């Protein structure tokens, strides 16, 4: 790891692996979500247009399920890092970008999370273009509380749609001294390209994962193991404990 005094701004990218030990299926594991479902059926605008009931039911089940899960030590450690890093390095920042649509980072104490692929617990009204917190089902087509049109859809970025808050993410990558990727396979762009971008912009790069990801060669360092163990260890090390 780079000497700590050279690290000021940290960008962390998380994927499904950080929530795996909380009991949320990853996408590309054996028995994972994409093995049970065709991506084009449940995670594309075309799939939604073709069979909205199938898609709404799929996300209703996922929305219900995540509310029964709890954050694990990896989520808690990242929350701690965000709170304590600026005290340790005045002016230092931690930007947490997640591809996950669960809320376990927030429940693990992270205050400011960039959900680039959206969130299970918000809905998007395609009629009035508002978003709001939503914990119940959508299958019965409830009206939008704002405009009363039954046009609510999961606020999840599907394949073919543009991820959220990319401008902010790019700025954070430009300013990063350290880029850390946790529990993501590196299979889905643009997130999979962040490591290369960060590295070319001068950041050190670290991968924390159960196994090497597709972009493993772009990382200066890789630490393999379950997120619930290796993330708290890395955070402790960074905070000098
Ligand atoms: P994947 O399912 O592709 O990859 C999960 C990664 O987590 C793999 O690299 C595993 O090795 C790792 N992993 C599994 N268990 C772990 C553990 N206990 N500790 C640490 N790592 C572990 O999930 P993502 O990379 O997040 O997008 O997938 C990226 C995007 O593809 C998702 O956001 C989703 C999906 O299609 C959309 O739906 C738009």
Provide the 3-class DSSP secondary structure of residue 4. Answer: helix
pLDDT on residue 67 = 98
Q: Per-residue pLDDT for the chain (241 aa), expressed as one digit of tens each?
A: 444 558 999 999 999 999 999 999 999 887 888 878 899 999 999 999 999 999 999 999 999 999 999 999 999 999 999 999 999 999 999 999 999 999 999 999 999 999 999 999 999 999 999 999 999 999 999 999 999 999 999 999 999 999 999 999 999 999 999 999 999 999 999 999 999 999 999 999 999 999 999 889 999 999 999 999 999 999 999 999 7
CA–CA separation, 184 and 214 (whole Å): 9
**Phi-psi region at 148: left, alpha or beta (left = phi > 0; alpha = psi -120 to 50):** left
| Residue nearest atom 35 in ligand 1 by C-alpha distance | 27
* Pocket residues: Cβ below 6 A from ligand 1: 15-17, 20-21, 26-29, 32, 43, 99, 117, 157, 159, 183-185, 187-188, 209-211, 213, 226-227
pLDDT on residue 4 = 53
Output the CA 20–ligand 1 centroid distance in Å.
8
pLDDT on residue 102 = 98
Does 117 participate in catalysis according to the annotation? yes
In the chain, DSSP finds a helix count (H) and a strand count (E) of 10, 9
pLDDT on residue 33 = 81
């Amino acid at each position: 790891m780079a000497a700590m005094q050279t690290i000021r701004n940290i960008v962390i990218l998380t994927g499904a692996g950080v929530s795996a030990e909380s009991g949320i299926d990853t996408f590309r594991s054996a028995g994972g979500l994409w093995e049970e479902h065709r991506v084009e059926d449940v995670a594309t605008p075309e799939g939604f247009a073709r069979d909205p009931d199938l898609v709404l039911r799929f996300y209703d089940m996922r929305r219900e399920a995540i509310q029964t899960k709890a954050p694990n030590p990896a989520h808690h450690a990242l929350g701690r890092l965000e709170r304590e890093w600026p005290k340790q390095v005045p002016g230092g920042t931690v930007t947490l970008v997640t591809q996950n649509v669960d809320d376990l980072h927030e429940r693990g104490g992270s205050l400011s999370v960039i959900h680039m692929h959206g969130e299970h617990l918000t809905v998007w009204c395609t009629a009035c273009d508002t978003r709001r917190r939503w914990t119940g089902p959508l299958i019965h087509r409830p009206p939008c509380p704002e405009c009363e049109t039954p046009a609510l859809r999961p606020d999840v970025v599907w394949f073919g749609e543009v991820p959220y808050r990319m401008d902010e993410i790019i700025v954070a990558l430009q300013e990063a001294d350290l880029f850390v990727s946790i529990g993501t396979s590196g299979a889905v762009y643009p997130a999979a390209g962040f490591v290369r971008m960060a590295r070319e912009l001068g950041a050190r790069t670290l991968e924390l994962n159960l196994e090497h990801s597709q972009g493993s060669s772009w990382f200066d360092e890789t630490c393999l193991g379950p997120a619930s163990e290796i993330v708290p260890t890395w955070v402790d090390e960074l905070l000098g404990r």
